[in-house]
Amino acid sequence: MTSKPHESLDPDARPQRRTFTAEFKARILDEYESAPDAAARGAILRRERLYGSHLLDWRKARDAGAAAGLTDRRQSAARAAKKAENAELSRLQRENARLQAELNKTQTALSIMGKAHALLELLSESA
């Protein structure tokens, strides 16, 4: 029996983890709980590609803290603010590096112009 090597070892080929908004979770819970029978509930799970454990966790979170329990802690407002702050910081750092490079060019050009001016004065005095 031969073993097949992995078809793709590309790390970019890994699937991304799905995230769900609090509104989506609440809507699905309401729809699931209002379904008339088990077949309809199963159809909802299949349609949304969810597992029953998703709904158990969401229901537990909802009952523990209402809408606050349905929010993803990994995407909290503090984390979003920190992400925006980091983006602004990196933008400012890039701008600072660009301006430093421009300043160095300007200083070098001024230095060269000063030396050229001094050389021209020296040549004009000797002539």
Statement: the pTM of the whole predicted model exceeds 0.85: no
CB 64 within 8 A of CB 58: no
**For residue 1, pLDDT beyond 70:** no
- pLDDT tens digits for 64-92? 775 555 666 665 667 777 888 888 899 99
- pLDDT tens digits for 81-124? 788 888 889 999 999 999 999 999 999 999 999 999 999 999 99
The pLDDT value given to residue 76: 63
More confident residue, 7 or 94: 94
Euclidean distance between CA atoms 26 and 66, whole angstroms = 10
**For residue 29, pLDDT beyond 80:** yes
What's at 90, amino acid-wise? S
CA-based R_g, the chain, Å: 32
Crossing angle of the two packed helices 22-33 and 52-65, in degrees rounded to 10: 110
The pLDDT value given to residue 3: 52
Average model confidence (pLDDT) across the chain? 84
